[in-house]
Amino acid sequence: MNSTELARLRAELRLARQHAHAADAERAETEARLLEARAQVLRAEARAARTHAETAGLRLAIDEARRLCEMTIDSSMRVDAVDQARDTLTVIDAAIAGDKPSPGDGAWHTVWLEGKWRWITSRMTTPEREHAADAVARHNAVLAAADNDPDRGEPEGLRWWRDAA
């Protein structure tokens, strides 16, 4: 073997080693990305488990509050206590049903009070009307609770399209 062939073989060996090192680096980076992805999945599973545990704990607390309210309603002689227990059950049921007030509810209530409700809602589809009316009713319920008037109910004429049918 002459010196030219030996130099060429050494160059090819260096090139092969560089290629092997580059392949090892790529493999290590791919494995690191895989481990990061697995860690993200495990973090997401942990968040879901924590949320489930919190939900279960809240459900137990709600069930206990409901049980105590029902016990008060069944056995208390104090009218105020019974009324308060019924109000508490109403709030619990509304929260579970998803009837929580939102900032948009106040806006729709203002439209109800200050706008031409019938004219505005006549330009909506029935589902849009129902959505707007539900928002007004939720906000009205919040105001009724603040006024200590839980029996107030929905404003008259709120769902005019039902009355017209």
Does the structure show a pLDDT above 80 at 24?
yes
| Alpha-carbon distance values, 41 to 35, 44, 48 (Å) | 10, 5, 11
Q: Residue 135 is inside which H or E element, if any?
A: helix 126-146
> What pLDDT sits at residue 31?
92
**Mean pLDDT, residues 76-89:** 87
The answer to whether 154 and 137 are in contact (CB under 8 A) is yes
Q: Domain residue spans in the chain? A: 102-165
Which one-letter amino acid corresponds to residue 100?
K
Does the structure show a pLDDT above 60 at 99?
no
pTM: 0.42
- Residue 78 has phi, psi (to 5 degrees) of -85, 120
Tokens 């105020």 identify what position? 80
* pLDDT, tens digit (0-9, with 9 covering 90-100), for 121-155: 999 988 889 889 988 998 888 888 878 887 888 88
- Which residue in 151, 102, 156, 153 sits closest to 131, CA to CA? 102
Three-state SS for 125? coil
